[in-house]
């Protein structure tokens, strides 16, 4: 973590809105959005954070990624600051989760920092402007310089019986703008959503989305709370349907790994992310890699707060990784140091 971020930026962000984490999130996005519109500002930012070392690019499910380090869904749901993310060193970005219908999400407060645990609890509830609004925004962008993923979910008011059409509506609207599509059936913050991970529901949903995607890769984002047998059943469906990859993992409803000083927050409902997910995400990635013989690409996400955390996911079998909570605690320097570490390890591998 850079000294400037630790001593100057982070304390200011943590005080915004009397410590309301969501206000800090909104202000960060607002600042990056404004920066994206200032002539010359993005290149200046890119000169500090965005220069990628040689040897970190890779091609996964038919797409070339300038770096395997991406921004996870949830940070920029409505795609308001897309030019700035590449300037911060990200090799790809996933917008959303977006739903067919615009929705405000759950009641506030709904985002909580657990500082001593380097974790976050959120119960945002897919707050977003809807897939139609996102399509209009994405249409206004030119070439972003990186693959854009779109995470799609179910509108809260849509019954599970109508979930397939809800997802398909969003994919249809956004098909021209997403380079890949992530099917979010694992958020704990939409009632009943995780039932869509069951084999019967999942097969119907993925079959419809695969048919609608017309050549665009479709991935499935899974929960870290599934048993190995449930993961194996899910993987069987994904293989049968021809899904391009797995994103492992979403947030957890578990509360293990919290510092004693943060345990009073454990009663807050929502998904837990950050340091407590480091081990479970790596184990899940390793299980998927072994179960599929490495044939199904994996985006590893959860608990990356140091470059070593990213390397652990790559060693477990991930092809790409995503950050979110790590940015809150380490700042944009985490992206830069992770890219440099990957390049260094790649060179060491070539020399050995």
In this predicted model, what pLDDT tens digit does every residue of 269-292 receive, in sequence order? Answer: 999 999 999 999 999 999 999 999
> How many angstroms separate the first and last alpha carbons of the chain?
30
| Whole-angstrom distance, CA of residue 134 vs CA of residue 96 | 9
Continuous H helices in the chain:
3-4, 10-15, 21-37, 41-45, 82-87, 131-139, 163-174, 199-213, 228-241, 278-291, 307-316, 325-330, 333-351
Phi, psi (deg, nearest 5) at residue 176: -70, -15
Lowest mean per-residue pLDDT among 26-35, 194-203, 294-303, 313-322: 194-203
Beta bridge partners of 71: 93, 323
Quick one: pLDDT at residue 351? 36
* 3-state SS, residue 120: strand
| Whole-angstrom distance, CA of residue 238 vs CA of residue 338 | 30
Catalytic (active-site) positions: 187
| Whole-angstrom distance, CA of residue 131 vs CA of residue 181 | 13
156 closest CA partner among 128, 126, 182, 185:
126
Quick one: pLDDT at residue 18? 82
> Quick one: pLDDT band at residue 137, thresholds 50, 70, 90?
very high
Quick one: pLDDT at residue 9? 83
193, 151 in Cβ contact below 8 A? Answer: no
pTM of the model: 0.95
CATH of domain 3-249+257-351: 3.20.20.70
| Whole-angstrom distance, CA of residue 219 vs CA of residue 240 | 13
**pLDDT tens by residue, 294-337:** 999 999 999 999 999 999 999 999 999 999 999 999 999 999 99
**pLDDT tens by residue, 71-127:** 999 999 999 999 999 999 999 999 999 999 999 999 999 999 999 999 999 999 999
């Amino acid at each position: 973590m850079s000294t400037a971020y630790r001593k100057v930026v982070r304390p200011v962000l943590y005080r915004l809105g009397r410590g309301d984490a969501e206000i800090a999130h909104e202000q960060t996005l607002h600042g990056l959005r404004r920066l994206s519109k200032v002539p010359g500002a993005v290149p200046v930012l890119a000169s500090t954070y965005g220069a990628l070392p040689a040897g970190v690019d890779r091609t996964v499910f038919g797409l070339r990624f300038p770096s395997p380090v991406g921004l996870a869904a949830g940070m920029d749901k409505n795609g308001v600051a897309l030019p700035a993310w590449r300037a911060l060193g990200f090799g790809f970005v996933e917008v959303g989760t977006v739903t067919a219908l615009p929705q405000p999400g759950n009641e506030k407060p709904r985002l909580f920092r657990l500082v001593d645990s380097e974790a976050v609890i959120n119960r945002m509830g897919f707050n977003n402007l809807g897939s139609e609004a996102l399509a209009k925004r994405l249409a206004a962008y030119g070439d972003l310089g990186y693959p854009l993923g779109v995470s799609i979910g179910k509108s809260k008011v849509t019954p599970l019986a109508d979930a397939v059409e809800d997802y398909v509506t969003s994919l249809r609207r956004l098909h021209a703008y997403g380079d890949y599509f992530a099917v979010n059936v694992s958020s704990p913050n939409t009632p009943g959503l995780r039932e869509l991970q069951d084999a019967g529901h999942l097969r119907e949903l993925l079959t419809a989305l695969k048919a609608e995607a017309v050549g665009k890769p479709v991935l499935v984002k899974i929960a870290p709370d599934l048993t190995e047998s449930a993961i194996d059943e899910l993987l069987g469906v994904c293989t049968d349907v021809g899904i391009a990859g797995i994103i492992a993992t979403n947030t957890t409803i578990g509360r293990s790994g919290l510092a004693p000083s943060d345990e009073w927050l454990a009663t807050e409902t929502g998904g837990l992310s950050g340091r407590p997910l480091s081990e479970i995400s790596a184990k899940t990635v390793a299980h998927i890699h072994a179960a599929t013989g490495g044939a199904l690409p994996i985006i590893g996400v959860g608990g990356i707060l140091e470059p070593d955390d990213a390397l652990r996911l790559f060693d477990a079998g991930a092809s790409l990784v995503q950050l979110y909570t790590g940015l809150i605690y380490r700042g944009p320097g985490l992206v830069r140091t992770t890219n440099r570490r990957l390049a260094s390890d790649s060179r060491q591998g070539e020399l050995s």
